[in-house]
Amino acid sequence: MRRAIDTLFGRLVVIVIGMLVLSHVAWFAIIRFERDNVQTRFAVEEAVFLVEAVRQHIAKAPDQPLPPRVRLVALNSPDVPKQPDEDTPPPLQRFVEDLKDRLPDGTEVRLNEPGGPPSVWVHGAKDDGWIVVPVQPLRPPRSRDRMLLWLALIFSTAVLAALFGAWQLQYPLRSLAQAVGRFGRGQPTPPVPERGPRELRQLTHGFNQMVREVSQTENDRAVMLAGVAHDLKTPLARLRLRAEMMDDEKLRDGVVRDVDSMAHIVDQFLVFAHDRPDGSEPVPVDEQCERIARAYRAVSPGAQPIRLKLEAGPAFALPAASLDRLLSNLLDNAHAYGAPPVVIETRREASGWVLMVSDHGKGIAPEDLIKASRPFVRLDPARGGSGHSGLGLAIVERLARRAGGECEIGNRAEGGLQVVMTFPFDIATRTLQERRAGSQHEERAL
CATH for 4-134 is 3.30.450
SS (H, E, C) 21-41: HHHHHHHHHHHHHHHHHHHHH
DSSP sequence for 280-339:
SPEEEHHHHHHHHHHHHHHH-TTSPPEEEEE-S-TT-EEEHHHHHHHHHHHHHHHHHH--
pLDDT at residue number 420 = 92
pLDDT at residue number 240 = 76
Domains of the chain, residue spans: 4-134, 280-445
Q: Is the pLDDT of residue 380 over 70?
A: no
pLDDT at residue number 335 = 82
Same fold, 4-134 and 280-445: no
Q: Is the pLDDT of residue 381 over 60?
A: no
The Cα 348–Cα 311 span in angstroms is 7
Most confident range (mean pLDDT) of 38-47, 232-241, 433-442 is 38-47
Q: Is the dihedral of CA 418, 424, 429, 430 positive or negative?
A: negative
Give the Cα-Cα-Cα angle 212, 218, 223 (nearest 5 degrees): 125
Q: Please return the burial class of 412, using the count of CB atoms within 10 Å of its CB with bins 0-12, 13-18 and 19+.
A: middle
Which amino acid would we find at residue 398?
R
The Cα 392–Cα 415 span in angstroms is 20
Is there a contact between 131 and 55 (Cβ–Cβ < 8 Å)?
A: yes
Of residues 301 and 232, the one with the higher pLDDT is 232
Which pLDDT band holds residue 387 (cuts at 50, 70, 90)?
Answer: very low
The Cα 129–Cα 150 span in angstroms is 48
54 Cβ contact list (under 8 Å, min separation 6): 66, 70, 72, 131, 133
Percent of the chain whose pLDDT exceeds 90: 7
Q: How many CB atoms lie within 10 A of CB 252?
A: 15
CATH for 280-445 is 3.30.565.10
Q: Is the pLDDT of residue 127 over 70?
A: yes
DSSP sequence for 208-274:
HHHHHHHHHHHHHHHHHHHHHHHHHHHHHHHHHHHHHT-S-HHHHHHHHHHHHHHHHHHHHHHHHH-
332 Cβ contact list (under 8 Å, min separation 6): 392
Which amino acid would we find at residue 300?
S
